[in-house]
Amino acid sequence: MSITNLTNIWRKELMDTVRDRKAFRQTLLVPLIIGILYAVLNPGLARLIESRADQPLTIPTQGLIYADDNFIQTMDSFGLVLEPYEGDLETVVRSGEEAAGMIIPEGFSQKMAAEEPATITLLLNRTAGGPFGGGFRVQRLDFALTTYSQSLGISRLQVRGVDPAILSPVALDARDLSTPEQRAGIFASLMLPLLVGIIAAQGGMFIAIDVTAGEKERGTLESLLVTPASDVEIFVGKLMAVFSITILPIVLTLMGFWAGSTFLPTDWTNGAVLPLRLVLQAIVLSLPLALFLNVVLMAISIRTKAFKDAQSSAGSLIFAVTMMAMAAAFVPPTNPLLYAVPIYGTSAVVGALAVGGITPVMGIVLSIVGSLAAAALGIFLSLRLFNRERLLYSM
């Protein structure tokens, strides 16, 4: 294999890519914008969840006149607004017009005063408002009712001259020891695996298609095949160019993600800061994965006759990468050997690093080795497709 031939082919493909200024600008700007957008969504999602948790909840209520003042005040302290409702409450909840409804039985306050048990009915429809409608959080109401019950129990003990502390022999002192980096990493552990997988697949997609199916469509591949360079040198030289270009979107996207999260106002991020070290680790881990995906993209494109055909075929790869990255974000590996699975292993390691958890060194090593081994196998199989007879015949 001639280093000169490899270098010439690599330089030729890079120059062809750079000369297409419009496409090259998109190659640089789009990943940067995507990285910043994900960075803004990262704390934004956290703020959305927190704001929904703190928002007052209005509950249409029947039988509110039977509730005592202590009950209403307890509900109000938890942001639960009980609104009197006249009509068929069960029907409006079943239809989804209301997410929840409460029915307080007649004689509720009298039963509380007489120290008798009483049951409050809660009607729910978890589909109300659609997937992003927020629904109704039963946990808040359950906590409010528990607090109300405890206050009644304490007052009953005090009337009998019993110290209420007898019911709580053990106290809990909860302390949050999470660091700002870990708090920033909670949602980054969901965003980063997806971001790494998608950008590694999409960063070199267009150039991988262009240097194979694109050149076949333009008729310029024939002139390259008649040069003294061997089939292996042509393929590897093109792969080097694709990988070189892919590095740029990866670096720009992940650095944009870090910059966007770092320079956001502190009131937006609640002091949570994503460490630069994490982003640099994600970049290093994504490079072997990018090489593997570049090989797959070129193998797909070799067998097509036109740019559009290759682009359509590559869409299934992007979908597969997204699904694997999502699987890693929500279902972490239970066996260290699973880290060797391309895409899944890399995404799982990045997600674990984001939350500052203890990631096994073997998992990191296996994720890199798995991607490189898959890339080597892909190169071997692609070279069986990338020969002059097949390429010329398929034109």
pLDDT in tens, the chain (395 residues): 678 877 877 777 777 777 766 666 666 666 667 666 666 665 555 555 555 555 778 889 999 999 988 898 888 888 888 999 988 988 888 887 888 888 999 999 898 888 888 888 988 887 665 444 455 667 778 888 888 888 888 888 888 877 777 766 665 566 665 666 666 666 667 777 888 888 888 888 888 888 888 887 777 777 777 777 787 888 888 889 889 989 988 888 888 877 777 776 666 655 566 778 888 888 999 999 999 999 998 888 877 777 777 777 777 788 888 888 888 877 878 888 889 999 899 988 888 887 765 667 888 899 999 999 999 998 888 888 776 555 555 54
Q: State the pairing for strand pair 100-103/121-124.
A: antiparallel
Does 331 fall in a domain? yes
Concatenated DSSP letters of 305-348: SSHHHHHHHHHHHHHHHHHHHHHHHHS--SSGGGGGSTTHHHHH
Judge if 132 and 194 occupy the same domain: no
pLDDT at 223: 74
The pLDDT value recorded for residue 216 is: 79
Q: Provide the token pair at 136.
A: 């109704």
pLDDT of residue 227: 74
Q: Are 107 and 66 in contact (CB under 8 A)?
A: yes
What tokens appear for 130 in the block? 């659609």
The verdict on 75 and 16 lying in the same domain is no
Domain annotation covers residue 136: yes
Q: Are residues 322 and 217 in the same domain?
A: yes
CB atoms closer than 10 angstroms to residue 233: 21
The verdict on 77 and 158 lying in the same domain is: yes
Question: Using an 8 Å Cβ cutoff, are 101 and 161 in contact?
Answer: no
Same domain? 16 vs 75: no
Number of helices (H) and strands (E), helices first, in the chain? 17, 4
122, β-bridge pairs? 102
Residue at 51 is within a domain: no
* C-alpha span between 350 and 277 (Å, rounded): 12
Domain range holding 36? 3-46+180-393
145 lies in some domain: yes
Separation of alpha carbons 127 and 98, rounded Å: 10
147 with 188, same domain: the answer is no
Neighbour-count burial of 266, counting CB atoms closer than 10 A to its CB (0-12 exposed, 13-18 middle, 19+ buried): exposed
pLDDT at 269: 58
User: Do residues 157 and 115 make contact, with C-beta atoms less than 8 angstroms apart?
Assistant: no
Shared domain for 218 and 324, answered yes or no, is: yes
Residues 62 and 42 in one domain: no
Report if residue 172 sits inside a domain: no
pLDDT at 176: 60
For residue 131, what pLDDT is reported? 43
Residues in the chain: 395
Q: Which two tokens stand for residue 28?
A: 């640089």
Q: Give the pLDDT score at 137.
A: 67
Question: 59 near 98, Cβ under 8 Å?
Answer: no
Q: What is the pLDDT of residue 130?
A: 46
Residue 295 sits in the same domain as residue 361: yes
Crossing angle of the two packed helices 138-159 and 69-77, in degrees rounded to 10: 140
Q: What total number of domains does the chain contain?
A: 2
174 domain-assigned: no
pLDDT at residue number 230? 80
- Residue finishing a domain among 141, 167, 193: 167
Are 270 and 42 in contact by the 8 Å Cβ rule? The answer is: no
Tokens standing for 282?
């994600």
Distance of CA 13 to the CA centre of its chain: 34
- One domain for residues 113 and 256: no
Distance, in Å, from the CA atom of 100 to the CA atom of 137, rounded to the nearest integer, reads: 9
The span from the first CA to the last CA of the chain, in angstroms, equals 26
Give pTM, 2 decimals. 0.64
The sign one gets for the Cα dihedral 18, 20, 21, 22 is: negative
**Residue 38 in domain:** yes
Output the CA torsion sign for 361, 367, 372, 373.
positive
Cα–Cα distances (Å) from 12 to 138, 225, 239, in that order, read 63, 14, 12
Q: Do 26 and 150 have their domain in common?
A: no
pLDDT in tens, 103-113: 999 999 898 88
Same domain, yes or no: 195 and 224: yes
Choosing from 132, 167, 202, the residue where a domain stops is 167
Tokens representing 76 are 């109000």
Examine residue 293 and state whether it is found in any structural domain, yes or no: yes
Nearest to 196, CA basis, from 326, 33, 312, 296: 326
Cβ pair 79, 57 in contact under 8 A:
yes
End residue of a domain, out of 129, 145, 167:
167
